[in-house]
Amino acid sequence: MAYDLELIGVGKVYDNGTVAVRDFDLQVEKGEFISFVGPSGCGKTTTLRMIAGFESITSGEVRIRGRRINDLPAEQRPTSTIFQNYALFPHMTVRQNIEYGLSVKGLSKADRRQKAAGIMEKLELLDVADRRHDVLSGGQRQRIALARGLAVEPDILLLDEPLGSLDANLRKSIQNELKLLQRNLGITFIFVTHAQSEALVLSDRVIVMNRGEVEQISPPYELYTRPKTRFVAQFIGRNTNIPGTLKGRDGDIAGVETGYGALRGFLNDSTLSDGDDVIAVVPSEAIDVYPLTASRDELIAQYQGNVVEGLVRTADVVGHTVFYVIELSDGREVNIESHIEKYRDAFETGAERVYVTWLPNEATVIGKG
């Protein structure tokens, strides 16, 4: 069976020479919720617009359900796009906005009415159907945009920072609605955002982009636990990145020589060999902290060598969360944010010097690249 959406070596060079996207490969199954994240200017919007048909595709191929669509104009593609600024038709009422795409498809007036009413009901817009949308709130207008885009029953819905201009609370609630809606409809969503938290909450898979290139495509959890590149390790979550050289390998677990001694972490990159420069990526969630009064030998046994001494710079408790900043011997700072239970021991003793520890399997060793 063909993929719902497939990108094969897709690239974009703008007329002014800007290389916006390079060699983008992606396969999306029907009904997946895919997010593009990455810093501003990394090429998310450009990629989305190439799929939508608003920008030409410089190289490579885009397929929807197995059909090459490179040369298909936007209005003939089975996609619809939701814009950050809503882009509602100012001269039409809410209902007219939603029905407009249907009238072009040649539906009878009665069918249009019925279909629009159905989608408006789903999105709780029936009360405002005959209003002009400029009197409505941002959240309502975003729902109108969604209703309008979904009414034409696209194979794929493309969303470019759709929640970007909403305030934080509204964002949260629309986020949830969006997720539910996508589940119910079973339509593939491609969702662009620069807010990684949004992507991590909503998506089945997240695509991290940087400078026009794909860094990693993974389920959200894996982005946290198994970053593949240095950029992802820095961009996603709150990791401590410790540089070193690769030394020895025991199945999935590799040794890394670092300024803090020999450490160990998970490695499944077969291109790396002994002596290569690598980085041990330690997620904040993987770290346990102990006061120096704990037995170092026991910790070394328990954490299989991953024990590093540090100085507590700050330890702030906010509710049940504790924020630690711990400085290692060479000045590197380790930021930890975790549930207070986990640190009760170290915290209650008021220890200034602590052991920072983690299990080898919870850290990931990546190339320095």
Partner 1 sequence: MENRPLLRSTLAIYTVLFIGFLYAPFVVLGILSFQSGPEGGPQFPIIEWSTYWYRHIFGLTPPSRVAPLPIGEALVRSMTLAFATMVTSTVLGTMTAQAFRRRFKGSGFVFYLVVLGMIVPGVLVGLGIALVANTLGIPRAWWGTAFVAHVLYTFPFAFLVMLAIFNRFDKTVEEAAWSLGVPPMRTFRKVTFPLIFPGVLSSMLFAFTLSYDEFPRTLFAAGADLTLPLAIYGTFAVEIHPNIFAFGVLTTLFSFSLLAVYGFLMALSVRSAKKVAIQEEIA
Ligand X SMILES: Nc1ncnc2c1ncn2[C@@H]1O[C@H](COP(=O)(O)OP(=O)(O)O)[C@@H](O)[C@H]1O
Binding residues (CB under 8 A) for partner 1: these are: 52-54, 73-77, 79-81, 83-91, 100-101, 104-105, 132, 134, 138, 145, 148-149, 152, 158, 165
Q: Return the closest-CA partner of residue 11 out of 229, 213, 231, 215.
A: 213
Query: In this complex, which beta carbon is closest to ligand X, that of residue 175 or of residue 193?
Result: 193
3-state secondary structure (DSSP) of residue 305: coil
- Residue with smaller CB distance to Mg ion, 84 or 218: 84
Task: Determine, following the binding rule CB under 6 A, whether residue 41 of this chain makes contact with ligand X.
Answer: yes
What does the alpha-carbon distance between residue 263 and residue 255 come to, in Å, rounded to a whole number?
Answer: 6
Closer to partner 1 by Cβ: residue 2 or 104: 104
Sheet holding 59-64, edge to edge: 19-28, 5-13, 59-64, 67-68
Q: Which stretch binds Mg ion (CB under 5 A): 44-52, 69-77, 120-128, 324-332?
A: 44-52
Instruction: From the list partner 1, Mg ion, ligand X, none, pick the one residue 223 interacts with, judged by a Cβ distance below 5 to 8 Å according to partner type.
Output: none
Q: Report the DSSP beta bridge partners of residue 241.
A: 281
Cβ-based nearer residue to ligand X, 24 or 358: 24
Is 42 near ligand X (CB under 6 A)?
Answer: yes
**255 within 8 A of 304, measured Cβ to Cβ:** no
Only one residue has tokens 């491609």, namely 190
* Helices assigned H by DSSP within 163-268: 168-185, 196-202, 220-225, 230-235
In whole angstroms, the minimum distance from the beta carbon of 209 to ligand X comes to: 7
DSSP secondary structure letters along 131-179: SBGGGS-HHHHHHHHHHHHHHT--SEEEEESTTTTS-HHHHHHHHHHHH
Kindly indicate which of the ranges 39-47, 76-84, 245-253, 264-272 contains the residues binding Mg ion, using the contact rule CB under 5 A: 39-47
Q: Is 221 in the site for ligand X (CB under 6 A)?
A: no
- Residues of this chain, 7-36, that bind ligand X according to CB under 6 A: 14, 16, 18, 20
Instruction: Please state the closest distance from residue 48 (CB atom) to Mg ion, in A.
Output: 8
Q: Is residue 188 near Mg ion by the rule CB under 5 A?
A: no
Phi/psi of residue 267, nearest 5 degrees: -140, 125
Rounded Cα distance, 54 and 72, in Å? 11
Q: How far apart are the first and last CA of the chain?
A: 36
CB of 76 to partner 1, least distance (A): 8
Task: Quote the crossing angle between the two packed helices 138-151 and 168-185, to the nearest 10°.
Answer: 20
| C-alpha atoms less than 13 angstroms from C-alpha of 368 in its C-beta half-sphere | 11
- Three-class SS state of 201: helix
d(CA 296, CA 308): 10
User: Please, what is the minimum distance in Å from the beta carbon of residue 77 to partner 1?
Assistant: 8
Residue whose CB is less far from partner 1, 31 or 78: 78
- Which CB sits closer to ligand X, 49 or 205? 49
Is residue 138 near ligand X by the rule CB under 6 A? no
Binding flag, residue 56, ligand X (CB under 6 A)? no
Nearest to 151 by CA among 105, 93, 202: 105
Q: Which stretch binds Mg ion (CB under 5 A): 42-50, 83-91, 206-214, 320-328?
A: 42-50
Contacted by 101, from Mg ion, ligand X, partner 1, none: CB < 5 to 8 Å by type = partner 1
Half-sphere exposure of 266 (CA within 13 A, CB side): 15
Supply the DSSP symbol for 32.
-
Q: Site for Mg ion (CB under 5 A): which residue of 5, 10, 45, 230? A: 45
Q: To the nearest whole angstrom, how small is the minimum distance from the Cβ of residue 90 to partner 1?
A: 3
Using CB under 6 A, which of the segments 39-47, 103-111, 150-158, 342-350 binds ligand X? 39-47
For partner 1, give the closer residue by CB, 106 or 331: 106
Count residues binding ligand X (CB under 6 A): 12
43 in contact with ligand X (CB under 6 A): yes
Interface with ligand X (CB under 6 A): 14, 16, 18, 20, 38, 40-46
Interface with Mg ion (CB under 5 A): 45
